[in-house]
Each structure stands twice: as C-alpha cells, then as structure tokens.
Amino acid sequence: MNRENAVPSNCRNCLHYKPEGRRGGICQMFHAPVQSHWKSCSLAALPFIYLLDRSEAEFYGIPDEKEQKVS
C-alpha cells in the first residue's frame, strides 16, 4: 500500500487532536485550542499509519525481525 500523502488534511484527522466540547478540541502537541475543520499543520500525523505499515507486512507474509530466532 503506497500512501502519496501521509499528512492528514485537517486537525480532526490528526493523531494529536483531542476533541473537547462541541466544536473544537486541543492540539496535544502545542497544548493549544484548535477547530476540527482547520487545515492541519506540517507536524500532523495520521493516527493509524504504523498499523497500516504492519498490516501490509503481515499481508505479504514478511516476518517481523523480532520474530526471527537464530538456532
């Protein structure tokens, strides 16, 4: 799975966004109030990016480096 754009489009899709109240939330990275519809900053991260990378390896049967044992 190849992701062309690894940055979320707005704050509500960011890993660091925590909803608070009815319309807004808090950016846990900056400890600042933000609106969910705002365009995300350059430090934004997708919440499930690591799970996607892991599932792709499992799908193709690529063993994890930690699982390999030397006899």
Give 9-63 pLDDT, tens digit per residue. Answer: 899 888 889 999 888 999 999 999 999 899 988 888 887 655 555 555 555 665 6
What pLDDT does 27 receive? 93
The whole-angstrom separation of Cα 24 and Cα 2 is: 32
Give 39-49 pLDDT, tens digit per residue. Answer: 988 888 887 65
Q: Would you say 44 and 8 are in contact if contact means Cβ atoms under 8 Å apart?
A: yes
What pLDDT does 42 receive? 86
State the number of CA atoms in the 13 A half-sphere of 59 facing the CB.
7
pTM: 0.57
Q: What is the domain partition of the chain in residue ranges?
A: 11-59
Judge whether residue 3 has pLDDT over 60.
no
Looking at domain 11-59, does it have CATH number 3.30.70?
Answer: no
